């Protein structure tokens, strides 16, 4: 046993029975044994000094460094330490050359085995300290999902979130204390699961038992047609061509946090949510009837990472998480107030895009954003669409739009600099 290496050994709830003779030999040689209270309890007679692994990983890391190189150190982990486990953290902090990782089965593997279900076609997720929206997004696109839960995103919370998003076509299978003496494994409908209090640790498996939630694979990645959106009136939508330019100017990434202010029919918010599957999009709309319309549209297009905020900007913006990108499509006559608030809330390096149609608003927006220290540019978009004129074709103009796009500088110390 190399004293210069940390041995990370995966275990199951069945305790020592889940370990190979080689792993048991390493644990018996350890002078320092680290793990959760549950895993440490499987070794009541060990001569090693026991240290409980808590949420303060930095403290555990200091402890490991203190003993590494002096005496044998073993850390016990659940299942496979490299599957949503501590393995990633330890590799990053200690380096791969100072680790020996010995994995075990994961709890999700065991659940699929219990059900005699292959799992190479499943989506595997962890809800540990992660937004529950990722589960909703996966449920829109997949028919087999395995989920590691935590004390906040419990099986009941997950089921409630799915039902609230209109997703009810899954059968749920829950395993508690998998492989242990008190193992409990059962199936339930999402409705039943939403009312159950299941002790940790547990995992949830979702298998589609009916038609999937709305998700049309024929839809384009970018440029959803205007006629596909429900609208209260014809003009209550950002035109497809303008929308494509707006989304490009917002420079979105898969995990972007986005605001769509004055969202109207929600066309920009819906497209942003589809482009940012790991992100979060807030559509802010002051009119109740229009807010209900946005909800209809996001359900139609199967996006689960979009939240509709009914209220007036800029007041409602104060409670929202800081965004990576903002689109201002409507301002209700409060453009300057909204832009000023947005410039302050936008993350460093973030993008703000506003559509304006008058010269007065163009001047106000450009002036205010420059004063706020944002690098600003203006694009005039003038679109003509073909129209039949008898046997001929003519071009029909749409109203021109000024797209004001701005970027907040990245601050380093006391200096503001633009990323190259």
Q: Per residue in 18-44, pLDDT tens?
A: 999 999 999 999 999 999 999 999 999
Q: Does one domain contain both 184 and 87?
A: no
Q: What is the pLDDT confidence band of residue 317, given thresholds at 50, 70 and 90?
A: very high
Q: What is the pLDDT confidence band of residue 417, given thresholds at 50, 70 and 90?
A: very low
- The pLDDT assigned to 353 comes to 97
| Mean pLDDT of the chain, nearest integer | 89
Q: Does one domain contain both 154 and 295?
A: no
Indicate whether 63 belongs to any domain.
Answer: yes
Q: What is the pLDDT confidence band of residue 199, given thresholds at 50, 70 and 90?
A: confident
Please say which residue of 105, 129, 153 terminates a domain. Answer: 105
- The pLDDT assigned to 303 comes to 79
Domain carrying residue 357 = 226-417
Q: Does one domain contain both 306 and 396?
A: yes
Indicate whether 216 belongs to any domain.
Answer: no
Q: Is the Cβ–Cβ distance between 257 and 323 less than 8 Å?
A: yes
Q: Does one domain contain both 18 and 122?
A: no
Please say which residue of 105, 129, 144 terminates a domain. Answer: 105
CATH code of 17's domain: 3.40.1010.10
CATH code of 287's domain: 3.40.50.150
Q: What percent of the chain has pLDDT over 70?
A: 94
Pick the range with the lowest mean pLDDT from 108-112, 125-129, 186-190: 125-129
Please say which residue of 175, 208, 241 terminates a domain. Answer: 208
Q: Does one domain contain both 118 and 77?
A: no
Query: What is the tally of structural domains in the chain?
Result: 3
Q: Is the Cβ–Cβ distance between 286 and 332 less than 8 Å?
A: yes
Indicate whether 187 belongs to any domain.
Answer: yes
Q: Does one domain contain both 71 and 126?
A: no
Q: Does one domain contain both 202 and 234?
A: no
Return phi, psi of residue 272, to 5°: -65, -40
What is the rounded CA–CA span in Å between residue 161 and residue 155? 10
Indicate whether 214 belongs to any domain.
Answer: no
Indicate whether 219 belongs to any domain.
Answer: no
Q: What is the pLDDT confidence band of residue 13, given thresholds at 50, 70 and 90?
A: confident
Q: Does one domain contain both 239 and 386?
A: yes
Q: Does one domain contain both 114 and 75?
A: no
Q: Does one domain contain both 268 and 403?
A: yes
- The pLDDT assigned to 277 comes to 83
Q: Does one domain contain both 274 and 301?
A: yes
Q: What is the pLDDT confidence band of residue 173, given thresholds at 50, 70 and 90?
A: very high
Q: Does one domain contain both 93 and 129?
A: no
């Amino acid at each position: 046993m190399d004293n210069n290496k940390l041995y990370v050994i995966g275990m199951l709830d069945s305790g020592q029975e889940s370990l190979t003779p080689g792993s048991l030999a390493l644990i018996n040689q350890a002078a320092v044994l680290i793990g959760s209270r549950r895993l440490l309890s499987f070794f009541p007679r060990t001569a090693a000094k026991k240290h409980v692994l808590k949420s303060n990983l930095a403290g555990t890391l200091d402890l490991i460094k203190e003993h590494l190189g002096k005496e044998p150190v073993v850390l016990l982990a659940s299942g496979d330490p490299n599957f949503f486990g501590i393995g990633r953290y330890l590799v990053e902090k200690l380096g791969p050359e100072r680790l020996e990782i010995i994995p075990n089965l994961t709890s999700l593997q065991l659940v699929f085995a219990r059900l005699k279900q292959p799992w190479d076609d499943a989506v595997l997720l962890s809800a540990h300290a992660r937004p529950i929206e990722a589960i909703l997004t996966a449920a829109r696109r997949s028919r087999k999902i395995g989920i590691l839960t935590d004390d906040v995103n419990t099986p009941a919370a997950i089921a409630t979130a799915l039902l609230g998003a209109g997703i009810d076509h899954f059968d749920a299978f829950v395993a508690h204390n998998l492989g242990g003496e008190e193992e409990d494994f059962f199936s339930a409908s999402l409705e039943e699961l939403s009312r159950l209090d299941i002790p940790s640790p547990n995992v949830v498996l979702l298998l589609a038992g009916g038609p999937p939630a709305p998700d049309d694979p024929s839809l384009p990645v970018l440029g959803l047609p205007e006629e596909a959106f429900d609208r209260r009136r014809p003009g209550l939508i950002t035109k497809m061509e303008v929308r494509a330019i707006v989304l490009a100017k917002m420079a979105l990434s898969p995990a972007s946090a986005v605001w769509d202010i004055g969202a109207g029919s929600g066309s920009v918010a819906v497209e942003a949510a589809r482009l940012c599957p790991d992100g979060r999009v807030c559509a802010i709309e002051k009119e109740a009837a229009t807010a209900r319309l946005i909800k209809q549209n996001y359900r139609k297009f199967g996006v689960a990472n979009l939240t509709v905020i009914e209220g007036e900007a800029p007041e409602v913006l104060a409670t929202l998480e800081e965004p990576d990108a903002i689109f201002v499509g409507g301002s209700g006559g409060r453009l300057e107030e909204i832009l000023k608030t947005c410039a302050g809330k936008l993350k460093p390096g973030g993008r703000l895009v506003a559509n304006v149609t008058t010269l007065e608003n163009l001047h106000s927006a450009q002036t205010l954003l420059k004063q706020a220290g944002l690098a600003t540019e203006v694009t005039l978009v003038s679109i003509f669409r073909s129209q039949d004129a008898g046997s001929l074709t003519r071009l029909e103009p749409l109203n021109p739009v000024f797209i004001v796009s701005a970027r907040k500088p990245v601050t380093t110390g006391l200096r503001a600099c633009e990323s190259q």
